[in-house]
Structure 1
């Protein structure tokens, strides 16, 4: 679960079965989690570049312990292939 508040909104990223039907939502995302050290640079760019260059929608949630890359469920297989082709190891 990720909770982000800005001046204009409150965004909650969580498993879709927890979202009330009346809430404004965008469903059918799957996550890839990276075990990246906080001090590493360029990690998110190296992961999103091959997906973006191939037209896949991306949503990233970053925490102190790691980055969570979300793509639409329909794009999961393509995303895994593109990330593997770019040299990333998926767990």
Structure 2
């Protein structure tokens, strides 16, 4: 599987569930940003340098990103498993985000080299 590496440092932040979509989110032009609302929370993932965490209930920083290249058909199965399993076997935790087109996997910056080696050894191609 082809994966694209984004070494940008990302932060995942939790806000109250009625937090309005902020202007700084709307104007961010990075390759990846995500906002998700549930009844319990609003989660925002953005490059650390662009994320305003003043109103955040909690934050988790120092993540990098891998994007699964190409558009994934909804009938495909096991795509995320093929990435998550070798990483889990090496005790590398992930934070996965799915979109209509593809999946994104965030991992801690401290695991960058180990994750790349693990995924390459599992047969995945990684580009920057």
Helix, strand or coil: the match of 2:88?
Answer: helix
TM-score w.r.t. length of structure 1: 0.92
The structure that is strand-richer by fraction is 2
- Who is 2:90 aligned against? 54
3-state SS in 2 of match to 1:28: strand
Q: Report which of the two structures shows the higher radius of gyration computed on alpha carbons.
A: 2
Aligned-pair Cα RMSD in Å: 1.2
Taking the TM superposition and a 5 Å limit, the aligned residue runs for 1:1-91 are 1-22=33-54, 23=56, 24-36=58-70, 37-39=72-74, 40-91=76-127
Consecutive unaligned residues of structure 2, counting only runs of 5 or more, are 1-32
Unaligned runs of 5+ in 1: none
Structure with bigger helix share is 1
Query: How many aligned residue pairs are there?
Result: 91
Cα distance in 2, alignment partners of residues 70 and 29 from structure 1: 6
Larger RCO, structure (CA 8 Å, separation 6 or more)? 2
| Deviation of 1:21 (Å) | 4.2
